[in-house]
Amino acid sequence: MTNSKDILKQAEDRMKKAVEVVRDELVKIRTGKATTALLDGIKIDYYGTMTPLNKVANVSIPDVHTVAVQPWEKNIIPIIEKAILTANLGLNPASDGTIVRVPIPALNEERRRDLVKLVKKFGEDGKIAVRNVRRDAIEHLKKAEKGEHMSEDERKRGEQDTQKLTDKYIKDIDNHLAAKEKEIMEV
């Protein structure tokens, strides 16, 4: 790890991961509209193996306020219902013997505000992660200059490039936040 390109590449990879974590967290937040992503984190005990729901059933959106889960084997319907209930998503599944329907309740104004606060918290956590990557990258650049592996000009250029990357990924997080906030506040 001696040249600035390597340091910047590693910093950019870590910044991308921070943005991905924020995006993944935002997808899980319920907005009053049905989306298959709501059930992405749910796993069921399928013949002794914890298996993601979408690997044992077809998850679809029949209408704006319902997620439908159609398992490939009818005998796992009770297991799926229990998994959705215990996932603490505030969802109440109901089955008709062949399909588990998960109605998505509409959000009230107070709940919307709480969700916006949560979205902002995830965003701030992501921005902090990006800034920590920037700090680490700049430390690596300074160490490389002290170890006489690079010139002062190259270090300064590396610091400027690191700042440009930081700005880019923080703007990316802001865009994700704005989109999610708009989605939540939409009635």
The CATH code of the domain that includes 54 is 3.30.1360.40
The residue among 88, 103, 118 that closes a domain is 103
What tens-digit pLDDT sequence spans the chain (187 residues)?
468 889 999 999 999 999 999 988 887 776 777 777 778 878 888 888 888 888 888 988 888 888 899 999 888 989 989 888 887 777 888 888 889 998 887 778 888 888 888 889 999 999 999 999 999 999 999 998 888 888 889 989 999 999 999 999 999 999 999 998 888 887 6
Provide the pLDDT for residue 1.
Answer: 47
Structure tokens at 47: 């013949």
Give me the domain span that covers residue 83.
36-103
- Which letter, b or e, does each residue of 39-76 get, where b requires 16 or more Cβ atoms within 10 Å of its Cβ? beebebebeeeeeebeebbebeeeeeeebbbebeeeeb
Residues in Cβ contact with 38 at an 8 Å cutoff, skipping those fewer than 6 apart = 28, 30, 67, 89, 91, 102, 104
43 plus 85 within the same structural domain? yes
**Residue located via tokens 């590693």:** 10
22 plus 40 within the same structural domain? no
Domain total in the chain: 2
Residues in Cβ contact with 58 at an 8 Å cutoff, skipping those fewer than 6 apart = 69, 70, 72
Provide the pLDDT for residue 185.
Answer: 81
82 plus 120 within the same structural domain? no
Q: 53, 57, 86, 81: which is closest to 71 by C-alpha?
A: 57
pTM across the whole model = 0.68
74 plus 120 within the same structural domain? no
Provide the pLDDT for residue 53.
Answer: 86
22 plus 65 within the same structural domain? no
H-type alpha helices, the chain: 4-28, 77-86, 109-146, 152-185
**Looking at this protein, which amino acid is placed at residue 83?**
A
